[in-house]
């Protein structure tokens, strides 16, 4: 994986020193909260319901074991012995003290990490496919491009004060595992006549106005990609609305002027930008790409696994994926135990995952947007040993992409923006569907819960989505059906009136039972919904 050069390290170290001074001045009363707030937000430090919350960037969700151990250390030393992995492939700490924040950032910097651009109206953490570099179906490894974009966007002077925050995802497979079309810019790396380039999608997003990004350009060559993205951002920066925070995202701009008009503006700007020479020389890209060379896989016979242990067999079936290298397999560690909190892990569990990566996965881990952790490169012969350690540490749940593998935002239990709690609803649904056979019978069903319209829990993209709202001071939950964040991206539709906390669990169960009663062979919940439409589900839910 990428390693900082002296410039990267100097930038991060300087930022820590700056923030240490700013915090000292704030505590000494030399600057007001109004003056300080934008400074702390630039360093990922929010004030949430119970304390300060620190959001740490995990570029394209990729970590090594040293970094993962540091995340555990921070949780143990400065927080309450746990942390929360987010739908942006980042990590958040919920109980941070302002006076500790500079030391935490210094600790992060010591392992080439930071919290820069995890807040504010700038280009946020670049997200990507958690199976990058391992997936059998990728046309190239998207991580060098994600890193390339990270370097381009970090402290970009022109894009530090955009009309609104800006999120970019990069994938390189037909199968979209990163909700790419629900980003402000989504890139799908493709090859055309042997030439590498990207399909460019612009103007997707969730929040209060969910939109699927239209394709703005079917093929931008790799040589032109940075200039093209610069043009995309420039047009947004010029015309994006700054008068209304709810209409400031690029999706609104494109919706208002139309994709064709936006595309024409970008093409015009691109002609100019291309003269500036910002696309890097091939040697620089190769330098970055060299950090992502495949690990030293050992040739091993691709023997079958001993699946005589039924619990292990169930986990292998559900939580592993095909690796491009014979003899290897990818592992997704579920952070969704039935009675757990989606995305939460204790310091000890984080350390366990770090050690497993070090011992069995070429020192690599990934965070997924579904709030799970990936060990991307595990030799098949080691798989049982990995599973045994995971299971012994509460990390062996076999439910990937099933109804209990729920995405949930922190909700009203932690978040100052939330209107309703998400986690208790996730827990009740998980308990209702805990039976492994029942989950297996239901099959793939992506259930996502947000505690407010900002949609951090991706409810719009859930096969079943739940949105928590405040109804005259009481928590209420709306149900949506038919969303998808995958290559068949779609926005879920609301079924009708909302429910209370127990009512929404019953409503989900009635929708699932309806699916089971009308599905045809091989149909997922989403397929059945798309075939039969909303009405049968509505009748079932509201009876």
Partner 1 sequence: MKILTGNDLKSGAVTWWAGSYWSLHVEDAVDVGEGGEAILAREMGARRVNAAYVIDAVSTAEGPRPAHIKDRIRALGPTVRLDLSLKPADPQVGAWVI
The footprint of partner 1 (CB under 8 A) covers 26-27, 29, 32-33, 47, 49-52, 80, 95-99, 341, 412-414, 418, 421, 423-424, 427, 473-475
Q: How far is the CB of 50 from partner 1 (least distance, A)?
A: 6
Structure tokens at 38: 């934008």
Instruction: Using the Cα atoms of residue 12, residue 116, residue 231 and residue 281 in order, give the sign of their dihedral.
Output: positive
The nearer residue to partner 1, 25 or 438, going by C-beta atoms, is 25
The nearer residue to partner 1, 332 or 419, going by C-beta atoms, is 419
Judged by DSSP in three states, 283 sits in helix
Q: How far is CA 234 from the centre of its chain?
A: 25
Angle, vertex CA 285, rays to CA 284 and CA 288, nearest 5: 90
Instruction: Using the Cα atoms of residue 253, residue 256, residue 260 and residue 265 in order, give the sign of their dihedral.
Output: negative
The nearer residue to partner 1, 131 or 477, going by C-beta atoms, is 477
- C-alpha separations of 444 from 73, 464, 513, 537 in Å: 35, 11, 14, 18
Residue whose C-alpha is closest to residue 124's, from 71, 72, 175, 56: 56
The nearer residue to partner 1, 232 or 466, going by C-beta atoms, is 466
- Per-residue HEC secondary structure of 291-347 comes to CCCCCCCCCCCCCCCCCCCHHHHHHHHHHEEEECCCCEEEEEECCCCCCCCCCEEEH
Backbone angles phi, psi at 456, to 5 degrees: -60, -25
The nearer residue to partner 1, 99 or 513, going by C-beta atoms, is 99
Task: List, as one string, the DSSP characters of 147-171.
Answer: HHHHHHHTT-GGGSS-SS-B-EEEE
Q: How far is the CB of 43 from partner 1 (least distance, A)?
A: 14
Residue 367 near residue 418 (C-beta atoms within 8 A): no
Q: Alpha-carbon distance 409 to 286, whole Å? A: 38
Q: How far is CA 198 from the centre of its chain?
A: 21
Structure tokens at 172: 């390189």
Q: How far is the CB of 21 from partner 1 (least distance, A)?
A: 16
Q: How far is the CB of 70 from partner 1 (least distance, A)?
A: 22
Q: How far is the CB of 33 from partner 1 (least distance, A)?
A: 6
Q: How far is the CB of 459 from partner 1 (least distance, A)?
A: 18
The nearer residue to partner 1, 46 or 315, going by C-beta atoms, is 46
Q: Alpha-carbon distance 325 to 504, whole Å? A: 44
Round to the nearest angstrom and report the end-to-end CA distance of the chain: 53
The nearer residue to partner 1, 30 or 388, going by C-beta atoms, is 30
Q: How far is the CB of 453 from partner 1 (least distance, A)?
A: 15
The nearer residue to partner 1, 31 or 486, going by C-beta atoms, is 31
The nearer residue to partner 1, 60 or 95, going by C-beta atoms, is 95
The nearer residue to partner 1, 49 or 486, going by C-beta atoms, is 49
Q: How far is the CB of 83 from partner 1 (least distance, A)?
A: 13
Q: How far is the CB of 292 from partner 1 (least distance, A)?
A: 38
The nearer residue to partner 1, 33 or 521, going by C-beta atoms, is 33
Residue 75 near residue 53 (C-beta atoms within 8 A): no
The enclosing H or E element of 518 equals: helix 501-518
The nearer residue to partner 1, 179 or 456, going by C-beta atoms, is 456
- Packing angle, helices 259-273 and 250-257, rounded to 10: 110
Q: How far is the CB of 151 from partner 1 (least distance, A)?
A: 32
Residue whose C-alpha is closest to residue 183's, from 197, 163, 166, 171: 166
Q: How far is the CB of 51 from partner 1 (least distance, A)?
A: 4
Q: How far is the CB of 448 from partner 1 (least distance, A)?
A: 18
Q: How far is the CB of 183 from partner 1 (least distance, A)?
A: 29
Structure tokens at 305: 């696994």
The nearer residue to partner 1, 396 or 451, going by C-beta atoms, is 451
Judged by DSSP in three states, 430 sits in helix
Beta strands in 80-163 (DSSP E): 82-85, 91-96, 127-128
Q: Alpha-carbon distance 326 to 477, whole Å? A: 46
Q: Alpha-carbon distance 285 to 221, whole Å? A: 14
């Amino acid at each position: 994986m990428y390693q900082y050069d002296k410039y990267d390290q100097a930038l991060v170290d300087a930022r820590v020193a700056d923030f240490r001074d700013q915090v000292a001045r704030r505590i000494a009363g030399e600057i007001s909260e109004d003056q300080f707030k934008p400074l702390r937000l630039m360093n990922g430090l929010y004030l949430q319901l119970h304390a300060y919350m620190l959001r740490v960037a995990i570029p394209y969700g990729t970590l090594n074991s040293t970094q993962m151990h540091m995340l555990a250390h921070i949780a143990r030393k400065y927080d309450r012995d746990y942390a929360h992995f987010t739908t942006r492939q980042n990590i958040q700490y919920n109980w941070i003290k302002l006076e500790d924040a500079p030391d935490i950032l210094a600790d992060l910097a010591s392992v080439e990490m930071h919290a820069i651009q995890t807040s504010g109206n700038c280009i946020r953490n670049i997200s990507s496919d958690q199976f990058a570099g391992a997936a059998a179906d990728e046309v190239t490894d998207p991580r060098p491009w994600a890193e390339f974009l990270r370097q381009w966007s970090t402290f970009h002077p022109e894009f530090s004060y955009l009309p609104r925050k800006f999120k970019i995802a990069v994938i390189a497979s037909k199968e979209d595992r990163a909700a790419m079309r629900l980003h402000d810019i989504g890139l799908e790396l493709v090859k055309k006549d042997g030439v590498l380039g990207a399909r460019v999608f612009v103007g997707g997003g969730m929040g209060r106005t969910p939109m699927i990004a239209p394709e703005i350009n079917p093929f931008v060559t790799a040589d032109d990609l940075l200039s093209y993205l610069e043009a995309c951002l420039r047009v947004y920066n010029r015309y994006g609305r700054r008068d209304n925070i709810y209409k400031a995202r690029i999706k609104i701009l494109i919706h208002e002027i139309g994709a064709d008009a936006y595309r024409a503006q970008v093409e015009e700007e691109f002609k100019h930008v291309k003269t500036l020479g910002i696309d890097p020389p091939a040697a620089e890209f190769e330098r970055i790409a060299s950090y992502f060379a495949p690990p030293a896989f050992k040739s091993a016979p691709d023997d079958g696994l001993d699946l005589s242990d039924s619990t292990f067999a169930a986990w292998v079936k559900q939580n592993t994926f095909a690796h491009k290298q014979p003899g290897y397999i990818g592992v997704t560690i579920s952070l969704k135990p039935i009675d757990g909190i989606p995305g939460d892990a204790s310091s000890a569990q984080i350390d366990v995952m770090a050690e497993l990566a070090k011992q069995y996965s070429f020192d690599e881990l990934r965070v997924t947007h579904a709030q799970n952790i990936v060990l991307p490169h595990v030799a098949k012969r080691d798989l049982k040993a990995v599973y045994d350690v995971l299971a012994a540490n509460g990390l062996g749940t076999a439910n990937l992409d099933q109804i209990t593998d729920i995405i949930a935002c922190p909700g009203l239990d932690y978040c100052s923006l939330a209107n309703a709690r998400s986690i208790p609803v996730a827990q009740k649904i998980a308990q209702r569907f805990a039976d492994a056979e029942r989950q297996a019978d239901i099959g793939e069903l992506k259930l996502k819960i947000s505690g407010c319209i900002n949609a951090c829990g991706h409810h719009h993209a859930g096969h079943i989505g739940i949105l928590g709202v405040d109804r005259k001071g009481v928590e209420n939950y709306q149900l949506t059906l038919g969303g998808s964040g995958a290559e068949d991206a779609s926005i879920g539709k609301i079924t009708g009136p909302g429910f209370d906390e127990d009512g929404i669990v019953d409503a989900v169960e009635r929708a699932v039972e309806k699916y089971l009663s009308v599905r045809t062979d091989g149909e997922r919940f989403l397929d059945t919904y798309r075939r039969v439409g909303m009405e049968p589900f509505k009748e079932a839910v509201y009876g």
